[in-house]
Amino acid sequence: MLASRIHDATVGPARLLMLPVGVPDVVSFRGSFESAPDLGADDDIVLSVIANLLDKGTAHRDRFALAEALDDRGAQISFYADGLRMGFSGRALRADLADVIALAAEQLREPAFDPDEVEKALVRAVAGVRRSLESTGGQASGALSRRLYGPAHPNYALVPAEEIAALEALTPDVVRDHHAAHVGSDDLTITFAGDVDASAVESAVSAAFGDWAPHGRTPVFDTQASPEAPGRTVVEMADRRNLDVRLGHAVALRRDDPDFLATYAGIFALGGNFSSRLMQTVRDEQGLTYGIGASLGSASVRHDAHLRVSVTLSQENVLRGIAATRAEVDAFVEEGVSEATLAAVRTTLAGTHVVGMATTSGVAARLLVNAERGFDVGYLDRYPDLIHALTPEAVTEAVRRHVRPDDLHEAIAGTMPTDATAS
């Protein structure tokens, strides 16, 4: 059991979760904190730029000195921005852990934001958005998100032109001001897995983060979806005869809802892997696609999620493929989930959970996500049992409550056939 082996401590502003794992000399860590963006004001774009700049120099060393400090120790540190939180992850030898934690704190707390580095980061970010314009999958997913959510929802994706304009408006001063306003110790949680010495970890975190002040801000975001009436959005892309299609609707369901696991398992049975219903019918039996799947997208304890069905279709099959996919979703909800189907799903989901914690980095990541959700440490032990306890009746009832075929939106990206119309 994991829970009995986890050391849970508070050091300064940080909650620490430490799990010894039988891997000698190596420790993986992962941490995050509340960044409190105003999503309607596109703060998340600025915070993503900040995350990409944290390894480009601090008040004490340039990016080359930072890289050398890590390379000399065979260590790794990376940073990310993820919706309402920012985070970091890394790995180091046990003997070097204190130095590496201190380096991570230096990068988080004292970034240089050299104007040349900021400019290069913005150029890279704009180039990334421009590259996304060539992705039919990315364009279809973004279009679906804009049908389901308003701009202040964490699951909303900006129109690429708007994202580019927001990036091009940023300056070093804006980046610096946002760092001061949004990067602090609010709800700071750090997890460690590997050859962990709890007292040494606590000392290292105390020295690096003990006096880190919170920013004290409150995030501004929509918690609920605000969908349009069901309909179709087409993102025309020249010379793309293989189109990506997204079908979906908002789901008023959060990760801590009692219905979540049953609904999640049901949608996995619909389109979660190669043995799912959509793969067996639309792909294998009807031969309309090479790739199709379904998921419960962007589930969180803090805001609504959505059902998303993804399918790649040739131009000649796009309308027939959409109709076939819709028909299978409809039939799936009507027929429900059998014991044989659910047995396979239970085995897969429980097994995936266990395999996900087969490495120290995987354990650190699972510990952090579990803590961010507000779940007790024992949930990681209970999860496989909760999955195996699901019944066909419970899963079918949950699917019928939360999957609504008549409410499906369509978002299509690629070159549509000339006889197709958008509505």
Contact 222, 153 (CB under 8 A): yes
Measured CA to CA, the distance from residue 16 to residue 368 in angstroms comes to 10
| φ/ψ of residue 91, rounded to 5 | -150, 140
Q: Tens digit of pLDDT for each residue in 160-190?
A: 999 999 999 999 999 999 999 999 999 999 9
Question: Which residues are within 8 A (CB) of 396 and not within 5 positions of it... i.e. 6 or more apart?
Answer: 266, 336, 337
Please classify residue 334 by burial: count the beta carbons closer than 10 Å to its beta carbon, then call 0-12 exposed, 13-18 middle and 19+ buried. Answer: exposed
Instruction: Assess whether pLDDT exceeds 80 at residue 419.
Output: no
Of the candidates 52, 88, 43, which has an alpha carbon nearest to the alpha carbon of residue 178?
Answer: 43
Contact 261, 386 (CB under 8 A): yes
Query: What pLDDT does 423 receive?
Result: 37
Contact 137, 289 (CB under 8 A): no
Two tokens at 70? 């890590």
Instruction: Assess whether pLDDT exceeds 80 at residue 258.
Output: yes
Three state DSSP letters for 1-64: CCHHHCEEEEECCEEEEEEECCCCCEEEEEEEEECCCEHHHCHHHHHHHHHHHCCCEECCCEHH
| φ/ψ of residue 343, rounded to 5 | -60, -45
Measured CA to CA, the distance from residue 383 to residue 10 in angstroms comes to 25
Measured CA to CA, the distance from residue 48 to residue 81 in angstroms comes to 5
Instruction: Assess whether pLDDT exceeds 80 at residue 125.
Output: yes
Number of H helices, E strands in the chain: 15, 11
- Residue 211: CB atoms within 10 A of its CB come to 11
Please classify residue 226 by burial: count the beta carbons closer than 10 Å to its beta carbon, then call 0-12 exposed, 13-18 middle and 19+ buried. Answer: middle
In degrees, to the nearest 5, what angle opens at C-alpha 217 toward C-alphas 214 and 223?
A: 130
pLDDT band (50, 70, 90) for residue 65: very high
Mean per-residue pLDDT, 386-395: 98
* Complete edge-to-edge strand list for the sheet that includes strand 409-414: 232-236, 409-414, 242-251, 305-314, 291-297
Contact 143, 14 (CB under 8 A): no
Instruction: Assess whether pLDDT exceeds 90 at residue 252.
Output: yes
Contact 187, 374 (CB under 8 A): no
Name the architecture of domain 232-414. 2-Layer Sandwich (3.30)
Query: What pLDDT does 297 receive?
Result: 83
Confidence (pTM): 0.95
Query: What pLDDT does 298 receive?
Result: 87
Q: Tens digit of pLDDT for each residue in 26-37?
A: 999 999 999 999
Two tokens at 316? 């000649």
Same fold, 3-209 and 232-414: yes
Mean per-residue pLDDT, 372-393: 98
* Complete edge-to-edge strand list for the sheet that includes strand 189-194: 7-11, 14-20, 189-194, 26-34, 85-93, 76-82
Pairing of strands 189-194, 14-20: parallel
Instruction: Assess whether pLDDT exceeds 50 at residue 369.
Output: yes
Of the candidates 139, 144, 129, 130, which has an alpha carbon nearest to the alpha carbon of residue 42?
Answer: 129
Instruction: Assess whether pLDDT exceeds 60 at residue 192.
Output: yes
Mean per-residue pLDDT, 279-289: 95
Q: Tens digit of pLDDT for each residue in 211-242?
A: 999 999 999 999 999 999 999 999 999 999 99
Query: What pLDDT does 422 receive?
Result: 41
CA torsion through residues 399, 354, 302, 386, sign? positive
Please classify residue 38 by burial: count the beta carbons closer than 10 Å to its beta carbon, then call 0-12 exposed, 13-18 middle and 19+ buried. Answer: middle
Two tokens at 406? 């008549």
Fold (CATH) for 3-209 = Cytochrome Bc1 Complex; Chain A, domain 1 (3.30.830)
Contact 414, 133 (CB under 8 A): no
Domain boundaries, the chain: 3-209, 232-414
Measured CA to CA, the distance from residue 352 to residue 357 in angstroms comes to 9
Query: What pLDDT does 172 receive?
Result: 98
pLDDT-above-70 percentage for the chain: 99
Mean per-residue pLDDT of the chain: 97
Instruction: Assess whether pLDDT exceeds 70 at residue 405.
Output: yes
pLDDT band (50, 70, 90) for residue 420: low
| φ/ψ of residue 386, rounded to 5 | -65, -40
Measured CA to CA, the distance from residue 337 to residue 394 in angstroms comes to 9
